[in-house]
């Protein structure tokens, strides 16, 4: 059996000694003070002091303030949404801006309306997408017009598709002209989404034939030809 020189064992002895020391000392430190200099909570506290609240913390705070404002009535809602508009302008994180827009959508104040309109022009597509969803919830003729404008103007396909989808979910016949316009879009994804939206708005089903929907959209008030075509498709 080959023996190991004592000198070679010295590093191992030091490692075992260090491990033993940590095992012995750490419980004593925790037991006496309940604190370690590298705990997660302490790190979070230091980060908050240096950089301010995190995005998640700001979102939770906004949700709590919104709940309180609703509970306290219209006067508090006005003050809260004014503050919300100021926060939106100063907020650098798109996730938080999305939350601000979503919260504003639940308030009927001038500041909330300004937030919802302005969000449609936000430089981040996630915020513009959320704004489309908020306008679907708000509804009405103004929502139809704003969503139509966003479909026409936005450079991001995802935002354009969301605007069309929201127009369909509103089930407002005022959206038929812009949805008919979307049927002529060169992108097949836009055409498909326009067909799906027209099914919702019209309450009818011509299948997925874009040409059939183009023909119907040209004269949506012509009920009889529609009924004949619909019956024919159901039979075959």
Q: Domain spans of the chain?
A: 48-119, 140-236
pLDDT band at 2 (very low <50, low <70, confident <90, very high): low
Q: What percent of the chain lies above the pLDDT cut of 70?
A: 72
Task: Tell me the pLDDT tens digit for each residue of 77-95.
Answer: 999 999 999 999 999 999 9
In the prediction, which pLDDT does 217 show? 87
Stretch 40-64: mean pLDDT, rounded? Answer: 74
Task: Tell me the pLDDT tens digit for each residue of 129-183.
Answer: 999 999 999 999 999 999 999 999 999 999 999 999 999 999 999 999 999 999 9
Total-model pTM? 0.72
Residue by residue, DSSP assigns the chain as: -PPPPHHHHHHHHHHHHHHHHHHHHHHHHHHHHS--TT-HHHHHHHHHHHH-S-HHHHHHHHHHHHHHHHHH-HHHHHHHHHHHHHHHHH---HHHHHHHHHHHTT--SHHHHHHHHHHTT-SSHHHHHHHHHHHHHH-SHHHHHHHHHHHHH-S-HHHHHHHHHHHHHHT-GGGHHHHHHHTT-S-HHHHHHHHHHHHHHHS---TT-HHHHHHHHHSTT-HHHHHHHHHHHHH-
At the topology level, CATH places domain 140-236 in 1.25.10
């Amino acid at each position: 059996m080959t023996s190991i020189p004592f000198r070679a064992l010295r590093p191992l002895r030091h490692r075992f000694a260090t491990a033993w020391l940590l095992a012995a000392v750490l419980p004593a430190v925790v037991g006496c003070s309940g604190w370690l200099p590298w705990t997660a909570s302490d790190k979070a506290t230091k980060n908050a002091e240096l950089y301010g609240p995190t995005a998640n913390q700001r979102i939770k705070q906004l949700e709590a303030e919104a709940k309180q404002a609703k509970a306290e009535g219209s006067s508090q809602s006005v003050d809260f949404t004014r503050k919300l508009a100021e926060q939106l302008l100063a907020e650098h994180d798109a996730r938080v801006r999305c939350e601000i827009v979503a919260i504003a959508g639940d308030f009927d104040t001038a500041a909330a309306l300004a937030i919802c309109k302005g969000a449609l022009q936000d430089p981040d597509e996630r915020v513009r997408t959320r704004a489309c969803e908020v306008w679907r919830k708000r509804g009405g003729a103004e929502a139809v017009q704003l969503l139509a404008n966003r479909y026409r103007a936005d450079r991001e396909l995802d935002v354009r598709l969301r605007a069309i989808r929201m127009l369909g979910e509103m089930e407002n016949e005022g959206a038929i002209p812009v949805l008919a316009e979307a049927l002529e879009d060169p992108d097949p994804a836009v055409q498909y989404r326009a067909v799906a939206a027209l099914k919702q708005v019209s309450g009818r089903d011509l299948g997925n034939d874009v040409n059939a929907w183009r023909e119907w959209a040209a004269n949506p008030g012509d009920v009889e030809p529609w009924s004949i075509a619909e019956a024919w498709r159901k039979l075959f």
